Chains A and B, each alone.
Chain A
């Protein structure tokens, strides 16, 4: 009949022999009856918090025990399983609730026999011992290393997890890598936030190289959606062509900057020749209602400013 055994931190609980067997080295440690029973109860309920009362009932049943029996047994188990009372990586003390055996350190083992090969070993503890005092060294007395026995009884093990020394060394490295990743991500996010928050404005050149003497720039928010882009240039291209034809022989260059805010077109142009510079800052309200009127206005005002330009000698 198949029977389920448990291994905690690679120590197999062997109830019939009253000991735990290392699945790595084959070493055997004898534990007291109640310590082993306690370990088995914790392993059976791995991942669950068991209260002191539950543990006392399940392990010691109706026997009267001292206040320190349970903490002492837990201490002894931690020592036997190479756990630490401070880090409590395997058996955790949950304040005011009880104890918990971490599921990650526990494996279930299925075997078709009650017998597990037992290497020779000795014990210092009595099977019916009752611990009444909590002493840090008590656990050491409970354990006696036995000669290594690589064979653990031909048992096939289903690992829940395999924490080893190397993985524990890798832990700070992983944490450091995560930390660096978090910092890089935050720095990039901070930089982007600083640059993009408050809708930063940018100037984008339109129809570059179409006109010999005119350059056109649209002012827009840096984070404007592409679908919100408007083809303003096509509305005034004929006017720009006419202006370009006019300023080309005079060696005057013109730069246009524009930004449309709802129904208002902000249109600024700068004229530059060898001997003079002019600019006009225009705000054109309701510019969308009549494209012809808009073109006439732009042409008229540009020509007005051109006429104010000094003629270079």
Chain B
């Protein structure tokens, strides 16, 4: 009887409301990923394909300007290649920071580059990056799986 009384309609409603509010509260107050500091630095990217035995090396410069990150990618072996673009942060969801990519300038003498696959992905989806901490070191993992170590350095 005691358990029946504690499980009657009114109490069940109270339980449900408390459960829902506590669940939502715990979800909301759980700290989100730490805000990413302003980015400035160089990084070298390498694209390799073991099947076609191809290799592409690019130097990338990133700089945060007015809440957007400007990137300039060049090819150290081909000075005709220049790719400039802008990453604008859209929002953060489940620890992932979503960006939209806007191309600014693209010049290349070749077609069918492996980096074109990355550019195509950036252009057609809102790209996410997720910070990962290893001790006091901060990594950023991109949606493509690329792993960057902060601070950026060539």
Contacts and interface: CB of A to CB of B under 8 A. Distances in A.
A261 B49 CA distance: 14
Contacts, number: 165
A277 B41 CA distance: 12
A234 interface: no
B8 to A, nearest CB: 9
Interface string A167-211: 110110011001100110111111101110110111100000000
Contacts of B144: 261, 264, 266, 283
A186 B44 contact: no
Contacts of A197: 94
A300 B45 CA distance: 15
Contacts of B134: 203, 217, 257
B95 A279 contact: no
Contact of B50 (A257, A268, A293): A293
Given A201-B132, A284-B50, A285-B51, A187 B153 contact: no
Give the contact-size bracket for chain B: 35 or more
Contact of A285 (B3, B48, B152, B154): B48
Interface stretch (B24-32, B63-71, B104-112): B24-32
A289 interface: yes
A104 B26 contact: no
Interface of B: 1-7, 11, 14-15, 18-20, 22-28, 30, 43-51, 53, 93-96, 114, 130, 132-134, 137, 139, 141, 144-149, 152-154
5 contacts: A167-B2, A198-B93, A219-B139, A268-B147, A286-B51
B72 to A, nearest CB: 16
B26 A186 contact: yes
Given A200-B95, A278-B153, A282-B48, A171 B5 contact: yes
B73 to A, nearest CB: 12
